[in-house]
Structure 1
Amino acid sequence: MGNEASTPVSEDVPPITLTARTVEAVADYIKKNNVKRIVVMTGAGISTSAGIPDFRSPNTGLYANLARLNLPYAEAVFDISYFRNNPRPFYELAHELYPGKYRPTVTHSFISLLNKKGMLLKAFTQNIDCLEREAGVPGDKLVEAHGSFATQRCIDCGTEFPDDRMKDTVAIKEIPYCERTRCEGLVKPDIVFFGEALPESFHRSRSLPASADLAIVMGTSLTVQPFASLPSFVREETPRILINLERVGGLGSRADDVLLLEDCDSGVRKLADALGWRDELEELWETTNPSRSERKKQEAKPKDKQADLDARIEELTRGVDKTLKLSEDHQRQFEKDFAKRPDTGKLDVPAGLAKSVTAAEHKKQSEGEVNDRKSNGSDLSHIYPHLDSKSVDKPSL
């Protein structure tokens, strides 16, 4: 597999699985067969509308614009041997390409929509820009065949480097070094450089296209191996659709190959239209709009402030209500105890209610006790107001 005939299939040859070699027939096949195992294979062409240059276009490609970095040859920026000796050109480039600076394209959102609908078996990408992730495709559904900026580690000891520190370091165009004591090797994003092996995830997943119900190939020249061999692993009777500016990799040589030779965003919109997903796709893509995200943040701020104010008022109100209720309870308890006071003797006011006794009530109570003492001739309150008459002997005359 991998050496497919490049001659386009004749229009006279009927498809085996599809009703026709059209995007509408692909959509009909997806809906009627409840397709759930779609494999997507992508290259730099799905990111060019985001503003990220591809690698090999003669005048606008990434390699054509690296002269300012004074490289011995353009590919040296991704050469591991050159990086060990001079990492600065790579980090100059990383500063421009680092995730967060570019918005995912509608094509990225289409892949995310496939996942949301439970149809995505795996998305194989040659891109290192992480835009699939930013569009909402989970990491376990991605095979970043050439690595990405998503993670990074020391090239000597393999120790992982923190994401936040990497972002901060790249932002100021500094070169990160290993944090491990006595190592201090160079740190590099987990991008596959020339001279390095492809990620293990690629080799583990390489056979998945053989179990797919549909293969979608977009925005790739299919010139770099072993990625270029992936479409050939798709079963002969399984439809393959190519959305690309030109025919590549032998696509179109099978009876159930469908070619949309146009830019990727236009192609996925046509497929979404045929599936009846266009509104969902545009809505999902809009969620990646930075201006919308910023607008939502600004709209949320006044609401957050009002919610915080409402919460504070509610808390204060609860406190006041609780205090008032306690005061009312105290008053009722005092009145209850006062009503039960015996004709003689002191009112036994509970300690917790002592402060509820008014000055007038205290005066009335004191005057009653004075009169009692005067009536039995044992009152010494004018001299010793703190003494009870029962505890003092009558004076001798």
Structure 2
Amino acid sequence: MNQVLHLYGYCCREGAVIKHIVDEVLTRLKKRQRNLPDHLVGIHDQLEDMKSLLQEGSPDVRFIVIHGMGGIGKTTLAEAVFNQISHQFSGHSFLPNVRESSQDDKIKELQWRLLSDILKFQPARIYDTNDGVNMIKERFRHKKVLIVLDNVDDRNQLMKLAGKHNWFGPGSRIIITTRDIQFLSINNGRPRDSDCIQHEEFYIYKMKEMPFHHALELFSEHAFRRDTPPTDYANIATKIVKTMGGLPLALKVIGSSLCYKNEAVSEDMKMPHREVHDILMMSYEMLEDEQKQIFLDIACHMAGEKIEDAVLMWKSCEFFPNLTIDVLINMSLIRVECHEELWMHDQLRDFGREIVCRESQFPGECSRLWCPKSAMEVIRRKRSFERPTFVQAS
């Protein structure tokens, strides 16, 4: 009897250990996935195009560039590809909004994060970007890796993170998203008749605006929480989608805003043609004062930060951040990543910062500063004005 009880206890303990291991593995796998909407409209054809460029199973190292205007869905496509194929690689990393990391200190942070993601442990601190480059080349040259560099706009950023094919092992794939491919020094490499093109080192995919039927479906998803507009709004919804073109960001933001303010739908949906900036301004103006302040904080400082840290800061300012965050999410102005980090589309971030810049032509008179050089210049000038003036006694 004692032996039976002992065996039963052992099995229970073993079962608990197995369950713990399974839960841990599932948690880690989930953390490595990008957080995407449940229903992605029109993504299937784009994924098929990307598969033809990725050539899964091919032993060569490939650099794939997704390019197109802001708000057209480059990051969403890169995230969808990352989620779909990352399990095929021995290491994978998604580095968002590389454009913000033009300074060496931030590039070092990205190098360290890249090494941490791929190696699955925290490497030694990086003191110099050249040291980071050497570490990446040394550690990755025999590894099959998947790396996404989102929103790149400078050749130096690419050279410090994924400079050459021989840095990586056979079968590796490096995906780059960018608004403009000029910094890649590609001559006559812009796709014309075809969306996909190979040019020397890079395989290039040009994003196009959504076709009308997909654009209408996406707008309806956010404005009416259904695939098609209600009969009473069909004509107006059709007109608004045609005037906005096939930009997913604009369709999501204006659709979500109209859904959020139901009483204003019928009037606002008759709006004339507007540029994307004006569409974003419409949504911004719908926010209450506190919501605007938190939106601008995220655009200038808090995107990429842990949500709990941001909430503590806003609560100290006597704001009610949890309610505001829900509003901003519902209006498609932000989202919360699986690591509980705040995320904002780069075009919305630029839009928010532009609002702050318009407060004054003098940075020191603006409500927020996000560029370290500008902040140090403002502090330096302030200190020079505050220096006491000594008058010699007569």
Q: TM-score range by the shorter chain?
A: under 0.3
Larger Rg: 1
- TM-score relative to the length of structure 1: 0.26
Higher relative contact order (CA 8 A, sep 6+): 1
- TM-score relative to the length of structure 2: 0.26
